[in-house]
């Protein structure tokens, strides 16, 4: 638990340093990078240690939530280190800290040993959710930036964002990667998951496919019709909402409300 608290504090320190760098106009400052990398490393080590102690990977609700938070934090660290995306870290790092604390306090459910095929499916899913969750945050930032510029409200937080076209390009690159991972998730599910349309999986499958269609439709619209702005934001958030309901919504109901594992 001590290392969990250290990681959570490091996440918050990294977020605080990002806020400070933006407030002082020091977009190039990298003081936040060390605590962010250390927090991500400790976060990952916490899960690895728990898996080694239990003899398998825990992928239940709070564990999955923490792993998605870890993936978001790792991706955000890469984004922030390579460009002007301080706002993303300010949001994601506290989310990662809360998800890790939730896992430490409420996770560690009984382990179901999965063979390599089901593990591949699960890891593809977690990576897809983490990547597309970051895309959803980027979409919200794009919406906020467009709204502020349209109203000529030049707030200080705009300095934490890249130019509009660069942010939009980053959004679609992130969605493309997430869409590939989501496609791999669905393919491995079809190939390796038995009774994919069983009663407790059918809603998860249907919602995941609908989300895949929405993200695919957005990418197609971007390529064919040049969709951008409000259209891109709306499709991204709708698709992500479907994905959240498919995975964490079903996990919440089955594991926390109905007590099924």
Query: What integer pLDDT is reported at residue 256 of this predicted model?
Result: 59
Q: Are residues 52 and 86 in the same domain?
A: yes
Q: Which residues contact 259 (CB under 8 A, 6 or more apart)?
A: none
| 3-state SS, residue 141 | helix
Is the pLDDT at 10 greater than 90? The verdict is: yes
Domain range spanning residue 37? 1-113
Give CA–CA dist 234/231, Å, rounded.
5
Query: What integer pLDDT is reported at residue 84 of this predicted model?
Result: 62
Q: DSSP states of 90-120 as a string?
A: HHHHHHHHHHHHHHHHH---------HHHHH
Give CA–CA dist 36/254, Å, rounded.
34
Q: How confident is the model at residue 251 (pLDDT cuts 50, 70, 90)?
A: low
141 close to 167: Cβ distance less than 8 angstroms:
yes
Give CA–CA dist 50/54, Å, rounded.
6
Q: Which residue among 113, 140, 164 closes a domain?
A: 113
Instruction: Give 44-93 pLDDT, tens digit per residue.
Output: 999 988 887 766 667 788 888 999 999 999 999 988 776 667 788 999 99
Q: Are residues 128 and 255 in the same domain?
A: yes
Q: Are residues 43 and 143 in the same domain?
A: no
pTM for this predicted structure: 0.90
Q: Are residues 94 and 166 in the same domain?
A: no
Is the pLDDT at 105 greater than 90? The verdict is: no
Q: Are residues 81 and 172 in the same domain?
A: no
Reading the block at residue 223, the tokens are 């390529």
What phi, psi does 258 have (nearest 5°)? Answer: -90, -10
Q: How confident is the model at residue 106 (pLDDT cuts 50, 70, 90)?
A: confident
Which single residue is written with the structure tokens 């990681």? Answer: 7
- What domain count does the chain have? 2
Q: How confident is the model at residue 215 (pLDDT cuts 50, 70, 90)?
A: very high
Query: What integer pLDDT is reported at residue 250 of this predicted model?
Result: 67
**In 24-158, alpha helices (H):** 33-54, 61-82, 86-106, 116-150
Give CA–CA dist 170/93, Å, rounded.
19
Q: Are residues 108 and 30 in the same domain?
A: yes
Write 89-95 long-range contacts (CB < 8 A, 24+). Answer: 89/14, 89/15, 89/18, 89/32, 89/36, 90/15, 90/18, 90/19, 90/22, 90/160, 91/137, 92/134, 92/137, 93/11, 93/12, 93/14, 93/15, 93/18, 93/36, 93/39, 94/11, 94/12, 94/15, 95/69
Q: Are residues 6 and 124 in the same domain?
A: no
Is the pLDDT at 142 greater than 70? The verdict is: yes
More reliable by pLDDT, 57 or 258: 57
Give CA–CA dist 187/193, Å, rounded.
10
Is the pLDDT at 157 greater than 90? The verdict is: no
Q: How confident is the model at residue 158 (pLDDT cuts 50, 70, 90)?
A: low
Q: Which residue among 46, 81, 113 closes a domain?
A: 113
**Most confident among 53-57, 201-205, 257-261 (mean pLDDT):** 201-205
Q: Which residue among 113, 134, 167 closes a domain?
A: 113
Q: Are residues 173 and 88 in the same domain?
A: no
Q: Are residues 103 and 142 in the same domain?
A: no
Q: Are residues 78 and 184 in the same domain?
A: no
* CA-based R_g, the chain, Å: 19
Q: Are residues 209 and 105 in the same domain?
A: no
Q: How confident is the model at residue 260 (pLDDT cuts 50, 70, 90)?
A: low
134 close to 61: Cβ distance less than 8 angstroms:
no
Give CA–CA dist 118/185, Å, rounded.
10
Q: Are residues 4 and 40 in the same domain?
A: yes
More reliable by pLDDT, 85 or 182: 182
Is the pLDDT at 253 greater than 80? The verdict is: no
Mean pLDDT of the chain, nearest integer: 84
Vertex 250 angle, CA 245 and 251, to 5°: 120
């Amino acid at each position: 638990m001590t290392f969990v608290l250290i990681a959570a504090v490091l996440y918050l320190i990294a977020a605080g340093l990002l806020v400070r760098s933006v407030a002082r106009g020091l977009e190039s400052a990298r003081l936040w990078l060390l605590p962010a990398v250390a927090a991500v490393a400790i976060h990952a080590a916490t899960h690895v240690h728990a898996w080694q102690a239990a003899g398998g990977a825990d992928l239940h609700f709070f564990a999955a939530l923490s792993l998605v938070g870890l993936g978001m934090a790792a991706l955000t660290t890469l984004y922030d280190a390579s460009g002007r995306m301080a706002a993303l870290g300010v949001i994601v790092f506290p989310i990662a800290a809360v998800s890790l604390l939730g896992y430490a306090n409420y996770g560690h459910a009984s382990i179901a040993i999965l063979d390599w095929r089901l593990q591949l499916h699960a890891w593809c899913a977690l990576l897809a959710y983490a990547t597309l969750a970051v895309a959803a945050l980027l979409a919200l930032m794009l919406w906020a930036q467009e709204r502020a510029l349209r109203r000529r409200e030049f707030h200080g937080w705009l300095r934490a964002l890249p130019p509009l076209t660069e942010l939009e390009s980053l959004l679609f690159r992130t969605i493309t990667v997430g869409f590939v991972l989501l496609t791999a998730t669905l393919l491995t599910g079809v190939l390796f998951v038995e009774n994919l349309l069983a009663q407790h999986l059918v809603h998860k499958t249907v919602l995941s496919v609908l989300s895949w269609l929405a993200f695919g439709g957005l990418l197609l619209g971007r390529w064919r019709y040049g969709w951008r702005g409000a259209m891109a934001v709306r499709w991204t958030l709708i698709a992500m909402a479907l994905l959240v309901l498919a995975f964490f919504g079903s996990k919440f109901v089955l594991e926390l409300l109905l007590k099924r594992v």
